Structure formats: structure tokens, C-alpha cells
Amino acid sequence: MSYKEPAPITGQHLNPFESMMSRFDIAAKKLGLDDSLYSVLKSPAKIVMVSLPVTMDNGDVKVFEGYRVIHNANLGPSKGGIRYSMDVTLDEVKALAAWMTWKCAVVGIPYGGGKGGIKCHPQSMSKGELERMTRAYTVAMVDVFGPEKDIPAPDMNTGQQEMAWIMDEYSKLKGYSSPAVVTGKPLVLGGSLGRVEATGRGVMVSARSAMAKMGLSPVGATCAVQGFGNVGSISAKLLATQGLKIVAISDVTGGYYDPNGINVEEAIAYKEGNKGTLEGFKAQKISNNDLLILDVDVLVPAAMEDQITAENANDIKAKLIVEGANGPTSWNADDILNTKGIMVVPDILANAGGVTVSYFEWVQNRLGYYWTEERVNRRADRTMKQAFETVYQAAQKHDCSWRIAAYIVAIDKVANTQKLRGVF
Ligand code: GLU
């Protein structure tokens, strides 16, 4: 299973938007996408940039930069998370918004793609400051968001609490309660059972599907997971329940390696009682890069963008990479991994379990009827398995990597809707 793909068209330096576009270009070429559709689909439909003045606890006013990018809304309202990080840039949000368009199309849910972000350092902000900033962002975006227009969700450094504030502020501005404007809410405010675990669960399901195709047995297979936030920790926990041996985990404080296997539940409890980090966890201390090049069967990068690059791809020993994060592999590593015969379940497929259950949450909000966790999980698992199979078949048909196949499936679908709906 090794193949060579044409060199990407974009420049050499790393930039998430270029990483996204280079795969888009390869897939578009393979699909024979015509030039006009190409130019429509590569451009975000809407970019909103706002300044958010927030009174800090000490009385000073600080102005934060906020973004929301709607990449495409052909298949339905745009959907995608909001991240709080100092790394937020317009280019990053543009790439993440486009990835959401492809992600929703790959798993076949009726959404377009969007993404938002605020450039801030949430770890050094108080709860009150975070609340005021989140509410200011919601006020600034009141004409962008909407259950039929654009539906935010959690992403890096945001979670149920931020979604509750967004739902509350939006509802106040509208004058009625509008739970379907945002997903990833707390259960009591109309959240869905299974949403917290959904992304990690999808990573586990797609890892299992890939392992079955590769003839790799999950029982005893070794696995390293980079990142121990919502996606990494739950992926690790659920992969362990499938018989995989998790030999390494990591977070911002570094990597933790134990060849005999890490007890993931114990690591989660440790982190919770340790101000949210793994610092001091009992295992051999390694770096985040050491973790990526460990001799394991399965590698799950679930931290952030551009972790696997042309610099370290040659040293990767895993047989299978399952991308829990968005964009963890930069485009210049793709060829190296492909040549080495390393299989990659790409982000737009592997981590799509989260947005799939977001869709179920939105459906339940609109119905006013709530599903059991068993029903949510069963439907999400089925969606992920079907999406994997569709991508697998496309890879066979087009003789390409699973990543390019996922883009082909997604672009083909969105391009067809564009053709049917027409262009102004
Ligand atoms: N932020 C998640 C993602 O990147 C979830 C998005 C959503 O549920 O809308 O897929």
C-alpha cells in the first residue's frame, strides 16, 4: 500500500491554509474539477473580523481580536467550533473553516463549514473575563450565528461553559430561548448525551475500521497518543477498551512513556487532580517529538496543527496514523508517509465524530425530543463506519491515499451541490 502523489502546488513554508489547499489541489486535479468550481470552492464565502473590548478584573479594558469564517454553506448552515488561543490567525481560521466543509461532507451531514476564534490566552484569564469576552463575541456575531445560518461548537480551549454563555447571550438578544444556535452545550441546556465523548469515539471507530482493512489486530497493538485534552484523553481511553496498549501520552508539559502500558483512566484522574496537566505523572518522561517517532503500531496525533512535518516524518515508525487533531500533518509530510507505506486516517474523517454528534444535538433541539446515549452512539458509529468505507472505496478507485480520497469524496459532493444550485 504505497503510492506517489503529485507535488503540491503551493509554497514551501508551513501554513494551515496552504496545507489544506495543497490537498484540495491534488484532489481537485484527480476529480477533473473545472476551473470555475475550483475558484468558488477554494474561497471562503464570508470572513468576519471583530474587535472585542472587555473590561478585565483590574478595571483595564483589553481589546481582543475575534474571527468567524464561513467557508461554504451549500449543504446546509455552516458548522464549526470556536477556539481560544494565542495562535489564532485569520489564515488558521480560514483553513479550519474549509476543513469543516470537507468534514461535514465526508460524513454526510447536512452542514457547510465554518470556524471561529479569539486571539487570547484563556489560561491566564479569570472565569469572569472569559464570560465577558465570550458574551462580547456573541453580541458581535449575532447576525452571523443562527440555528439556520451558522452554528458554533467547542474547539481548542472552549467547552460546555462557553457554549452555555453563547446560547444565553444569543437567546437574550433574540428574546426567546434558542438552544439550537450552538452545540456542545451542557446536558441540562439541551446538550446531547454522548457529545463529550463523540470525537474520541469516532477516532476509536475509524482506527478500528482502518486496522481491520490493514489486517492489524487491536488486541495488544501498541499506540501512542499526542495530546491529552478532550480528544486525546478520550481516544486513548476508548482505544484501550478495544485492547490496544497505550504506551505513551502527552500534553503541553511533555510526553509520558511506559512500554508496559499506561493506565489511561488513572492518567485522566491524575490530570484532573493536578490543575489539568500531566506534569509529574509516573512514567518515563519524553518529549512530544519523541512520542511521535516511537516504535508503535498506531499513532494518534490529537494535539494541534503541523506536528508531523517533513522534518520528522522520515522517523515515524507507526503503521497507522489516526488524526484526532485538525491538520496535525503538514502537507510536506504526506509524500514521505505515503512512500513509507504508512496509512493515515485523515482528520476530516477521523475526528468527524464530534460534529456528527453536534448534528444529532441540533436535531434533538429542533425536535424537542432527546435520545438515549445508546441511540446517539449507535448512529454515530454507523455514520463513521460508512464514511470510512466510502473513503476506502474512493481510494481504491482513484489509486490514492485515504487523505486524498476523503477530499475527493467531499469536494465531489460540495461541487455537485454548487452545480445544482448554480452560481450568481
Ligand atoms: N471543533 C470540532 C471540530 O473541529 C467540532 C465542531 C462542531 O461540532 O461543530 O470538528
Q: What pLDDT sits at residue 423?
A: 84
Of 242, 140, 255, the residue nearest 201 (C-alpha): 242
Question: How far apart (Å, rounded) are the C-alpha atoms in residues 195 and 302?
Answer: 17
β-strands 46-55, 61-72 pairing: antiparallel
Active site residue 127: no
What does each C-alpha distance from 47 to 90, 93, 110, 115, 240 come to in angstroms? 9, 9, 21, 10, 41
Quote the Cα angle for 11-14-19, to 5°.
75
How do residues 319-352 score in pLDDT, each as one tens digit?
999 999 999 999 999 999 999 999 999 999 999 9
404 or 7, which is more confident: 404
CB 287 within 8 A of CB 254: yes
Q: What pLDDT sits at residue 199?
A: 97
Q: What pLDDT sits at residue 14?
A: 64
Q: Is the pLDDT of residue 260 over 80?
A: yes
**DSSP 8-state code for residue 134:** H
State percent of the chain over pLDDT 70: 97
- How far is ligand 1, taken at its centre, from the CA of residue 282, in Å? 32
- How far is ligand 1, taken at its centre, from the CA of residue 195, in Å? 11
Q: Find where cell 511521535 sits.
A: 292
Q: Please, what is the average pLDDT of the chain?
A: 95
Please enumerate in sequence order all residues whose Cβ is within 8 A of that of 23, keeping only pairs 6 or more positions apart, or say none.
8, 331, 334, 403, 404, 407
Q: What pLDDT sits at residue 19?
A: 84
Q: Is the pLDDT of residue 2 over 50?
A: no
How do residues 209-225 score in pLDDT, each as one tens digit?
999 999 999 999 999 99
Please enumerate in sequence order all residues whose Cβ is within 8 A of that of 280, keeping only pairs 6 or more positions apart, or say none.
274
- How far is ligand 1, taken at its centre, from the CA of residue 99, in Å? 10
Out of 79, 167, 355, 364, mutate this one to test ligand 1's pocket (max ligand atoms within 8 Å of CB): namely 355
- How far is ligand 1, taken at its centre, from the CA of residue 184, in Å? 9
- How far is ligand 1, taken at its centre, from the CA of residue 377, in Å? 17
Counting every residue written for the chain, the total comes to 424
CB distance 356 to ligand 1 below 6 Å = no
Out of 100, 104, 181, 356, mutate this one to test ligand 1's pocket (max ligand atoms within 8 Å of CB): namely 100
Q: Is the pLDDT of residue 13 over 70?
A: no
Confidence tier at 15 by pLDDT (50, 70, 90): confident
Position in ligand 1 atom list of the atom nearest CA 155: 1
Q: What pLDDT sits at residue 6?
A: 41
Average pLDDT over residues 251-274: 97
Of 117, 121, 152, 128, the residue nearest 54 (C-alpha): 128
How do residues 341-395 score in pLDDT, each as one tens digit?
999 999 999 999 999 999 999 999 999 999 999 999 999 999 999 999 999 999 9
Average pLDDT over residues 183-209: 98
Average pLDDT over residues 75-99: 96
Q: What pLDDT sits at residue 17?
A: 84
Q: Would you say the CATH fold of 198-350 matches that of 47-189?
A: yes
Q: Give the E-state strand segments of 2-103 in sequence order.
A: 46-55, 61-72, 78-85
Confidence tier at 148 by pLDDT (50, 70, 90): very high
Position in ligand 1 atom list of the atom nearest CA 359: 8
How do residues 270-291 score in pLDDT, each as one tens digit?
999 999 999 999 999 999 999 9
Average pLDDT over residues 294-311: 96
Q: Is the pLDDT of residue 137 over 50?
A: yes
Q: What pLDDT sits at residue 174?
A: 98
Average pLDDT over residues 69-91: 96
Q: Per-domain residue ranges for the chain?
A: 47-189, 198-350
CB distance 179 to ligand 1 below 6 Å = no
Q: What pLDDT sits at residue 264?
A: 98
Alpha carbon nearest to ligand 1 atom 8, residue: 355
How do residues 27-42 score in pLDDT, each as one tens digit?
999 999 999 999 999 9
Q: Is the pLDDT of residue 4 over 50?
A: no
Of 355, 86, 305, the residue nearest 202 (C-alpha): 355
Question: How far apart (Å, rounded) are the C-alpha atoms in residues 385 and 241?
Answer: 18
| CATH 1.10.760.10, domain 198-350, yes or no | no
Q: What pLDDT sits at residue 3?
A: 40
State percent of the chain over pLDDT 90: 94
- Give me the helices (H) in 285-424, please: 288-292, 331-340, 347-350, 353-367, 373-398, 402-421
Q: What pLDDT sits at residue 78?
A: 98
How do residues 339-348 score in pLDDT, each as one tens digit?
999 999 999 9
Region of residue 306 (left: phi > 0; alpha: psi -120 to 50; beta: else): left
Q: What pLDDT sits at residue 16?
A: 83
Q: Is the pLDDT of residue 244 over 70?
A: yes
Average pLDDT over residues 3-16: 48
All three cell numbers of 170, joined, read 444569543
- Active-site option among 115, 119, 271, 319: 115
Region of residue 317 (left: phi > 0; alpha: psi -120 to 50; beta: else): alpha
CB atoms within 10 A of CB 309: 17
CATH numeric code, 47-189:
3.40.50.10860
What's the order of all strands across the beta sheet hosting 222-226?
284-286, 254-257, 245-251, 222-226, 298-301, 320-322, 343-345
